[in-house]
Structure 1
C-alpha cells in the first residue's frame, strides 16, 4: 500500500538519497550535481506558504518517491512548478499518481490556477507520466545546455486546475 503525507525537514536525508540515485543514473532530471539533506531543507524553507511537499512511503515507512510544487520566477503568479521523483525501479506502480492527487489538491488550496512541468525531451517516462495526468505541451526549448556540456530539449507542459 502507498501512503502519501506531507514531507518535512526530518525527511530530507532519505529524500536526498533517493534523488541522488536518480541524478547518478542520469537521463531523467536536469540536475547533474548531488544534493544534500541541508539543500533540501533550504528548498523547503525557501517558499513558505506558496509551496507544498509530499512523499510516498510503503507500509513499513520506506520512501518510494516525493513531489513538490513551488512558484518560479519564470512563471506568472497564478502558476507553480512541479517536480516528481520516484525510486528507481518503482515507476508505473501508482506512486506518481497517488502523489499527484495530493499535490493537485495542495495547488488548489494555495490558490494556483495551473501547474507547470518542464521535462527533458529524452525523459520518456517523465513525459508519459505528466501526459497521463492531463498535462498538455505549451512550449519546447531546443538545445538547452546542462552542466557538463550536454544539451537537451526541454518540454514544458501545463495542467489547468
Structure 2
C-alpha cells in the first residue's frame, strides 16, 4: 500500500485525536494514559512550541492511517529529537510508519540533529520491532516506571543516529 505523507496542521487535530484516543484506551502500547481533546493534542504533539515536526500518512482513499511527531523532550540534548508514532488500530504493519519516518528523518537532518530518540514500553513488542526495523539501536532503559494504576513497566530507549544513515 502506498501513502501520501504531509506535514500536520492544526486543522488535523480532531481527526488525529480520534486516531490516538482509541490507542490510549486500549492500553498496552503507549505510555500515554490520558485521552486528548483536539486542542491539547495539537499543542502537545502536532504544532505546539515543543514540536519540531509532525507528519500524517494518508492512504490511497485519503483516510488517515498514522501520524508521527518529533519534539523536544526534557533531559535530551538539544540536537536529539524525541519521536512518537501512532497508527490507527486497524493499520498496524501497513507501511505507514516507515513512510512517515522517511519524512521525519529528513526534517531532523534539516534541523541539524545528530539523533532521534524513541522511548518504548518494554511490553510493546510491535513498537520495539518497528523502531528496530527503522534502524534504531538500544540506548538505555528506564526500569519499573509506574503507570497510573501502579503497574510497573520498563521503558526501552532507542536511538537512530543520523550521521550513520
TM (norm. structure 2) is 0.93
The question of 1:38 aligning with 2:39 is answered yes
1:23 alignment counterpart: 24
**Pairwise CA distance, 1:30:** 0.5
Residues 48-107 of structure 1 deviation map (CA, whole Å, 9 limit, x = unaligned):
xx6100000113321100001011121011101000000112111111100000000011
Structure-2 separation of matches of 1:36 and 1:123: 25
The total of aligned residue pairs comes to 159
Q: Distance in 2 between matches of 1:46 and 1:72?
A: 12
SS of 1:138 mapped into structure 2? strand
Please name the residue that 1:4 is paired with: 5
1:109 aligns with 2:138: no
What residue is the counterpart of 1:128 in the other structure? 129
Where in structure 1 are there 5+ consecutive unaligned residues?
Answer: none
Output one character per residue of 1:8-57: Cα deviation in whole Å (capped at 9) or x when no partner. 1000001011100100111000111111101022122223xx61000001
Unaligned runs of 5+ residues in structure 2 are none
With normalisation by structure 1, the TM-score equals 0.95
> Paired residue for 1:69?
70
Q: Aligned-pair distance for 1:146?
A: 1.6
2: CA distance between counterparts of 1:140 and 1:41?
A: 29
